[in-house]
Amino acid sequence: MNGEGTVIIRNVHVVTPEGVIEHGWVRLTNGLIDAIGREKDATRPPSGENAAAHTTKLADHAAAGPDASTVSGDDGSTVTIDGRRGWALPGFIDIHVHGGYGHDFMEADAAGLDAITRFHALHGTSVMLATTVTAPKADIDQVLNRVNRYRDAAMPYAQLLGVHLEGPFISAKWPGAQNPAHIVAPQPAWLEDWTRRFPGLIRMQTLAPESEGALPYIEALTREGIIAALGHTDATYEQVQLAVKHGLSHAVHTFNAMRGLHHREPGTVGAVMDNPAIMAEVIADGHHVHPAAIGLLAQLKGPDSLLLITDAISAAGLGNGDYRLGGLDVVVRDGVARLKEGDSLAGSTLTMIDAFRYAVQKAGISVEHASRMASGSPARRLGIDRTTGSLQPGKQADVLLLNAQLELERVWIQGRAIN
């Protein structure tokens, strides 16, 4: 289902791994990024064919005003878009998302998976992990079955790379919005069953590294090529450091639902900040983490070890109201999701474009670094950085066009325009 034909995005700041190309252009051809360049180096059109005619069309288009955003080549196969000094970015990769637009990965059928992936694609996400919540094994099995079947066919929107199991092997002291009734100690037999029936489907699992049996379980995850992540944990600084030696390498929604930083016991947060072997997530929505704390975390981890996520639930895109998450009642008011009982934050209604914009405009992170946190670093985390996660010739045409105010205007996934 790769996109056909050619799209040229010109007059944009192009964010690449080597830096930002000012006054640049990107050419997408048959689902791939075909070429990237600077306007001053391309006196003829990047497409290279029908140069004189195309240059005339571009000149006519430039004079036509802001409503004329696209033109076609003579054969109709090339579309040129004037980005008006906006930004071209790689598609976002969200490794921690529970649902959206009225659907939850714990319950979504094929139509529901289409609805979730379309909603998040329209907000810039090109790749995502279907994230579960703490639940009985039978319910988790159902999610794995449905996602596995969904991935057998071509996916028309954001690509479901696999599944992130958040729980159920977490701490009862830090359940957050996870249902404490289903928290259990790590179960090696469950992992053996899952990896036998669904090889390669589980990409990450969140657990409390201080729980009984966690260390050998982390080793088993690592042997299977599954990212071992800490979260919903009361682990001390020393317990986290020990877990890293056994293969732990990731922290979910840093600061939230974990033992905090204290000057005499740095806790889970201190270990995450201190250990370069741990890649960290953060929810940049203005509710979960103060922008100064996001900025501090970004300084300590750097854009190559910090990932933006949404942690979005089914309420994302729908506004205020009553919802459910993992069998628990959730109330959304003014965009903030909280458990009806206990008032704990319950995921978010965030989208990746909003997280990206918040990181830049509120946390003081540069566009280039925020892009790496939203795309390049999660791609590397998932081992897909050879094919996506950055704007480079030969990679998938997972491309976003933002205006100068960092508002999302257009999305391409594998060269297909998403609408």
Q: Is 253 annotated as a binding residue?
A: yes
CA distance linking residue 417 with residue 419, whole number of Å: 6
The terminus-to-terminus CA distance of the chain in angstroms comes to 15
Q: Is 59 annotated as a binding residue?
A: no
Contacts of 91 (CB under 8 A, 6+ apart): 124, 125, 126, 127, 375, 388, 398, 399, 400, 411, 412, 413
Q: Is 345 annotated as a binding residue?
A: yes
Q: Is 256 annotated as a binding residue?
A: yes
* List of E strands, 181-259: 202-207, 227-230, 250-251
In this prediction, residue 164 carries a pLDDT of 99
In terms of Cα–Cα distance, which of 149, 153, 185 is closest to 167?
185
Omega prior to 180 cis, within 30 of 0:
no
Instruction: Please say whether the beta carbons of 136 and 185 come within 8 A.
Output: no
Q: Could you read off the pLDDT tens digit of each residue along the chain, which spans 419 residues? A: 466 689 999 999 999 999 999 999 999 999 999 999 998 765 444 444 443 333 323 333 332 322 334 444 444 579 999 999 999 999 999 999 999 999 999 999 999 999 999 999 999 999 999 999 999 999 999 999 999 999 999 999 999 999 999 999 999 999 999 999 999 999 999 999 999 999 999 999 999 999 999 999 999 999 999 999 999 999 999 999 999 999 999 999 999 999 999 999 999 999 999 999 999 999 999 999 999 999 999 999 999 999 999 999 999 999 899 999 989 999 999 999 999 998 899 999 999 999 999 999 999 999 999 999 999 999 999 999 999 999 999 999 999 999 999 999 999 999 999 98
Residue 396 pairs in a beta bridge with 32
At 391, the amino acid letter reads L
Q: Is 108 annotated as a binding residue?
A: no
* H or E, element range at 329: strand 328-333
Q: Is the pTM of this model over 0.85?
A: yes
Which pair of tokens denotes residue 146?
A: 């449905």
Contacts of 111 (CB under 8 A, 6+ apart): none
| Cβ neighbourhood burial of 20 (10 Å; 0-12, 13-18, 19+) | middle
Q: Is 319 annotated as a binding residue?
A: no
CA distance linking residue 157 with residue 412, whole number of Å: 9
Q: Is 347 annotated as a binding residue?
A: yes
Selecting from 3.20.20.140, 3.90.1310.10, 1.10.3720.10, 3.30.360.10, what CATH number does the domain 92-382 have? 3.20.20.140
Please state the domain extents for the chain: 6-89+396-417, 92-382
Exposed e or buried b per residue across 257-267, where buried means at least 16 C-beta atoms within 10 angstroms of its C-beta: bbbebeeeebb
**Residue labelled with tokens 């064919």:** 49
Q: Is 177 annotated as a binding residue?
A: yes
Which pair of tokens denotes residue 339?
A: 């458990």
CATH homologous superfamily for 6-89+396-417?
Answer: Urease, subunit C, domain 1 (2.30.40.10)
Active-site hit among 82, 104, 234, 311? 311
DSSP string, 256-284: TTB----SS--HHHHHHHH-TT-EEEEE-
Q: What share of the chain is helix, strand, coil (3-state, %, to 5)?
A: 30, 30, 40
Residue 250 pairs in a beta bridge with 229, 279
Q: Is 94 a catalytic residue?
A: no
In terms of Cα–Cα distance, which of 150, 79, 87, 50 is closest to 416?
79
